[in-house]
Amino acid sequence: MSSMRKLLILCLILLTGSLVLLVWVLFVKDDIKCELNGKEKQSVEVFSKYNEKGIKITNRGKVLSKDKYTLKIKGKVITDKLGDNDIIYIVKYHKKKYTLKRVVSVIDSTPPIISTNIETVTKDVCTKKEIQELTFSAEDNYDKDLNEKIERKDTEEEINLSVSDSSGNISTKKLKIVYTEKPKNIFSLNGKNIIYVPINTKYNEKGAIYKDGCGEPLQANIKTTGNVNTSVIGDYTVKYTLEDGESLKRTVKVYDPNIPNEKIIYLTFDDGPGNTTKKILDALAKYNIKATFFVTNQFPSYRNLIKEEYINGHAVGVHSYTHKYDIYKSLDSYLNDFNKMNEIIKEETGTYSQIFRFPGGASNTISKSYKKGIVSEIAKYLTAKGYLYFDWNVDSTDAAGAGTEAIIKRVTTDVSKCSKCVVLMHDIKTTTANAIDPILAELTSRGYSFQVLNSDGPKVQHKIAN
Report helix, strand or coil for 346.
Answer: helix
- For this structure, is 270 an active site residue? yes
> Residue 325 half-sphere exposure, CB side, CA atoms within 13 Å?
11
Contact 461, 322 (CB under 8 A): no
Straight-line distance from the first to the last Cα atom of the chain, in angstroms, rounded to the nearest whole number: 158
Whether the bond between 217 and the residue before it is cis, its omega within 30 degrees of 0, is: no
* DSSP for 63-84, written as a single string: EPPGGGSEEEEE----TTS-EE
Q: CA-CA distance, 328 to 306, in Å (whole number)?
A: 25
Sign of CA dihedral 443, 449, 450, 455: negative
* DSSP for 232-275, written as a single string: S-EEEEEEEE-TTS-EEEEEEEEE-TTSPPS-EEEEEEES---T
Contact 440, 407 (CB under 8 A): no
Nearest CA among 108, 100, 59 for reference residue 83: 108
Q: CA-CA distance, 55 to 30, in Å (whole number)?
A: 18
Q: CA-CA distance, 101 to 225, in Å (whole number)?
A: 100
What DSSP designation does 458 have?
Answer: -
Out of 270, 271, 337, 395, the active site residue is 270
Measured CA to CA in angstroms, residue 65 lies from 30, 57, 98, 466 at distances of 14, 8, 16, 106
> What are the beta bridge partners of residue 44?
106
- For this structure, is 94 an active site residue? no
Element (H, E) at 36: strand 32-36
Measured CA to CA in angstroms, residue 155 lies from 148, 161, 272 at distances of 21, 11, 50
Out of 140, 319, 426, 427, the active site residue is 426
Report helix, strand or coil for 402.
Answer: coil
Q: CA-CA distance, 416 to 429, in Å (whole number)?
A: 24
Q: CA-CA distance, 427 to 438, in Å (whole number)?
A: 15
Q: Return the active site residues.
A: 270, 426
